[in-house]
Amino acid sequence: MAAIVLHSAVHETLGQEIVDGVHAPRSVLTLDGLQTRFGVSRTVMREVMRALEAQRLIESRRRVGIIVRPAAEWKVYDPQVVAWHLKGVRANDMTRSLLQLRIAIEPTAALLVAQNPDVTVRRHIYELALELRRAAIASEVDHYRRTDLQFHLNILRHSGNPLFGGLDEITVVAVTLRQAPLTRSEGINVPMLDLHVEAGEAIHRGDHWSAYELVTHLMEEFKDVVNLNAT
């Protein structure tokens, strides 16, 4: 158990440092140096290197050492890499990129899920939107956030497009770490709540074009709430 905890802590620290640019692209690290720095066994350090290599943040070369890869070579869809971005010095850049991705994909996913022949699936998405609004009005913040996440995940997962559904882990990270606030300074953000309900209702009744337009509007409203220009 101790080795697992050490592995996780070292992996988290090094991954965050690489994403934040603490270690410049093409810079060389050594296993001995890292082992000394973190005070861990060689076995733990090698396991961390394998994990970072799998995420394409580093590469190991014999007689050279451990080379930090440039950002263009990273596994950008890896949820942990995304999380490091969102917690790091370039959080706004990643938030903007995630919004651009969601604006490109979620409206089409909503269009497709509105065409899903399973009315139970469509009704559940509408019920999630209604529950989201209820939780917001009741100031049930944790429940609101969980319901918001499930609303967006269900649209992706039931779109019928497995590639959209495969973005669920990134969506979890994006919605959880950079979630739209429940309230603005003047109170509950009613327009966003209404857009969720209207989009859910359009999906429920199978009105795919309305679902597309409403989720597009929802993504644009979210962009304004987090105060980023994602276009």
Averaged pLDDT, groups of 10, the chain, 231 residues long: 74 97 96 94 94 97 93 95 92 89 95 98 98 92 92 96 92 73 57 94 98 95 65 42
Q: What is the pLDDT of residue 95?
A: 87
183, with CB counted inside 10 A (0-12, 13-18, 19+), is exposed
- Asked whether the beta carbons of 219 and 99 are under 8 A apart, the reply is yes
Task: Look up the pTM and report it.
Answer: 0.85
Q: What is the pLDDT of residue 11?
A: 97
Beta carbons within 10 angstroms of residue 209's beta carbon? 10
Q: What is the pLDDT of residue 186?
A: 41
Determine which helix (DSSP H) or strand (DSSP E) holds 33, and give its type and residue range.
helix 31-38
Alpha-carbon distance values, 26 to 19, 66, 106, 122 (Å): 13, 9, 36, 49
DSSP 30: -
219's tokens: 């993504």
Interatomic CA distance for residues 214 and 218, integer angstroms: 6
Q: What is the pLDDT of residue 3?
A: 60
Q: What is the pLDDT of residue 228?
A: 55
- Asked whether the beta carbons of 135 and 224 are under 8 A apart, the reply is no
Interatomic CA distance for residues 63 and 26, integer angstroms: 15
Select from 55, 47, 96 the least CA-distant residue to 75.
Answer: 55
